[in-house]
Amino acid sequence: MFLRTTTNIFIFFIFFFTTTATSTLSQNNTNFSFSFPSFTLRNITLLGDSFLRNGLVGLTLSTTVPASSSGTLFFNHPITTTPSLSLSTNFTFSITNTTTSATPSSTFSFFLNSSHTLLSLNFHPNQNHLTLDLNVSSNSSISNSTSVDLSTDTPITSWVDYHHADKKKLQVFLNYSSPATSKPQNPVLSVDLDLYRYFKDSLYLGFSGSTQGSTELIQVMSWSLEFESNSHLLINGSSSPSSVAVEGIPVSSNSTQGSKNRGKRFLFGLCVAIAGPAFFCLVLVVLGYVSFLKWRGLRKKKCFGTVGCCPKEFGYKEVKLATKGFHASRVIGNGSFGTVYKALFESSGTIAAIKRSRQYDGKTEFLAELSIIASLRHKNLVQLLGWCVEKGELLLVYEYMPNGSLDKVLYQECEGGSPNHVLSWVHRINIAVGLASVLSYLHQECEQRVIHRDIKTGNILLDGSMNPRLGDFGLAKLMDHDKSPVSTLTAGTMGYLAPEYLQCGMATEKTDVFSYGVVVLEVACGRRPIEREGQKMVNLVDWVWGLHSQGRIIEAADRRLNGEFKEGEMKKLLLLGLSCANPDSAQRPSMRRVLQILNNEGGVSLVVPKEKPTLTFSSGLPLSLEDIVSDAEEELNSGQVVCEIKID
């Protein structure tokens, strides 16, 4: 971002210098006008993220994930103002939200800019009003709402008129664009203003657009302008006439002085003749280098898309060297995103975990994970160190978790581990509290709540002190706190999916609560969500609820603990797991309430019905039974046991 901003400023400086250097040679008429029914790169300059496509200028990037973007368009030639100036301009623009879930947060501006003053007319679609800002010592600002919906995808035409003779008044008109767009009779904004008071030198005109954490595309479709003055007007230079000899005034006969003057003029001409081409060549070299950098950046954006800010971009060679060429001996795990490698960066001595996927296999998951986790900060989240997009690879660099995933630690005895390495009760309680803390943060404390959608022991990693760290945001979804959940394709791991999520594919924070409840029961019981007993599949939630209905819930405790736990704490954790895994989502507690219960805050005991509530699904499932069975077969083939689905 710093390189791009610096480059844009440098390009503008070169442009301004060369324009000013050449503009003093030409004059124009007092009446000046131009019209761009569609745009080309002739007579305009684009800065920042702005781009030209099919005759339209885009000021911001079109993305499918919330991001920040800004760009500028301005007319190449400055206009010299006079006390009796008149200006009329109209332009057509559109502000399109490329996704329906992102909140509009953008600004589109038409500006007049000189060396000392900036006047901008700002259009705010999220608040549906305009603001006229004049950046002078008084810092005046005038706002007004409009009946024209600025957030609609329909193109909008604006007229901006200023007439010195008409009481020095600036007026703004708005209307929806159509094949026969007409200028309204009444302005949406009318301000008494003397432009010449603030703009007494060269004046630039143009547009700017910016987005903050949104997916809006701002485009300028056409632009026309008429400029009039009763004084001699220069489009781009000085009005001072060249020196001429006037008849009747004698010329000095001092030959020595004349010779010196001629020598100075010759030397000046020689310097211009030499320095001009040299400077021009230098400009070409600089612009060529800048164009190369921009081309390389555009290639990466075209391949990858815009994802917002990230801690660091790693080089592909650096990552490949750290993983010994992605050698099989460095593989430490596999997931829905791809393969995970252990990496050692010798230059810094840092040990990291690299998640790797081919670009066209996991691009959607990669973008989702990167855009979400890069903006999150919590002690129980896996820290993102950086990313890399090269050679058709998508790579995420995370801090390394030496104790691996919770499922491997929890079930290591079943897989040949030593009984001496059974996860202690203190660590299990700490895991339940830490996971509740981070989910409460994601659901209630973020600016936009995050629904993880894949809470399971395989996605919970343990650091060197056995503290839990939640990772794998490849299926996560951002959602505003005041928005209703959006139905999507069901994604996640069988055994952890809430019944209503399987039935209608609607992800909410309560689906995460259900998955958390299953994890808590796993931690307390030392059993997987679904286990095969002979020819029968046993669901962990059903099994624990059966013991609870018989008053024997404490028998669900992991036998490998050999009773080394507090019975009251064990019973509370088991009941909390059942409460979170309630089939009725309305009866599940929020994660903030779960955290309060674990920390013994609030003084309210858990009430869990003796019999597991039944849930009746309506007919016509958005997910077909074939889809569910297909997902189940995939889980079985991957070595995971799936649950049995019953629909009443």
Query: What contacts 62, CB < 8 A, 6 or more positions away?
Result: 98, 215, 217
Instruction: Report the C-alpha gap between 605 and 623 in whole angstroms.
Output: 37
Strand order through the sheet with 384-390: 331-334, 339-345, 350-358, 393-399, 384-390
Nearest to 64 by CA among 219, 217, 209: 217
Which uninterrupted H or E stretch holds 91? strand 85-97
Q: Residue 474's pLDDT is what?
A: 63
- Span 306-330, mean pLDDT? 80
For 100-130, what is each residue's pLDDT tens digit?
A: 655 667 889 998 887 777 888 888 887 788 8
Q: How far apart are CA 515 and CA 457, in angstroms?
A: 10
- What is the three-class DSSP state of 139? coil
Q: Is the pLDDT of residue 646 over 60?
A: no
Who contacts 280 (Cβ-Cβ below 8 Å, separation ≥6)? none
Q: What is the C-alpha separation between 540 and 11, in angstroms, rounded?
A: 65
How is domain 2-237 classified at the CATH fold level? Jelly Rolls (2.60.120)
pLDDT: is 250 or 45 the higher one? 45
Mean pLDDT of 196-201: 77
Q: Are 373 and 355 in contact (CB under 8 A)?
A: no
**Three-class secondary structure of residue 412 per DSSP:** coil
Q: Is the dihedral of CA 287, 389, 219, 209 positive or negative?
A: negative
Residues 6+ apart with CB under 8 A from 122: 107, 108, 109, 130, 131, 132, 133
> What would the two tokens of residue 247 be?
């008849």
326 has a pLDDT exceeding 80: yes
Closest CA to 34 of 24, 42, 45: 42
CATH class of the domain at 307-400: alpha beta
First to last CA, the chain: 56
Q: How far apart are CA 608 and CA 70, in angstroms?
A: 53
* Predicted local confidence at residue 433, as pLDDT: 95
Average pLDDT over residues 185-204: 82
Please, are residues 27 and 79 in contact by the beta-carbon 8 Å criterion? no
Indicate the helix (H) or strand (E) that contains 214.
Answer: strand 202-214
- % of the chain surpassing 90 pLDDT: 27
Encode 143-182: b = buried (16+ Cβ within 10 Å), e = exposed. Answer: eeebebebeeeebbbbbbbbbbeeeebbbbbbbebeeeee
Count Cβ neighbours within 10 Å for each residue of 230-268 and write b for 16 or more, e otherwise.
eeebbbbbeeeeeeeeeeeeeeeeeeeeeeeeeeeeeee
Tell me, yes or no, if 454 is annotated catalytic. yes
Does the annotation list 355 as a binding residue? yes
Q: Following CA atoms 145, 147, 153, 157 in sequence, which dihedral angle do they give, to the nearest 10 degrees? A: -90
User: How far, in Å, are 28, 224, 322 from residue 33 at the CA level?
Assistant: 11, 7, 60
Q: In whole angstroms, what is the distance from residue 209 CA to residue 51 CA?
A: 12
Question: Taking the mean position of all CA atoms in its chain, how far away is CA 397?
Answer: 19
| pLDDT confidence bin for 472, thresholds 50/70/90 | confident
Choose the weakest-confidence range: 112-116, 343-347, 394-398: 112-116
Tens digit of each residue's pLDDT (9 = 90 or more) over 542-596: 999 999 999 999 999 999 999 999 999 999 999 999 999 999 988 999 999 999 9
Q: Give phi and psi for 354, each to the nearest 5.
A: -110, 120
Q: Where are the alpha helices (DSSP H) in 100-217?
A: 195-198
Per domain, the residue ranges of the chain are 2-237, 307-400, 403-637
Active-site residue identified among 161, 454, 472, 558: 454
What DSSP character marks residue 405? B
- The total number of residues written for the chain in this structure: 648
Taking CA atoms, 458 is separated from 63, 162, 357, 493, in Å, by: 31, 65, 18, 10
Of 1.10.510.10, 1.10.150.120, 2.170.120.12, 1.10.10.10, which CATH number belongs to 403-637?
Answer: 1.10.510.10
Write phi, then psi, for 394 (nearest 5 degrees). Answer: -115, 120
**What value does the mean pLDDT of the chain take?**
75
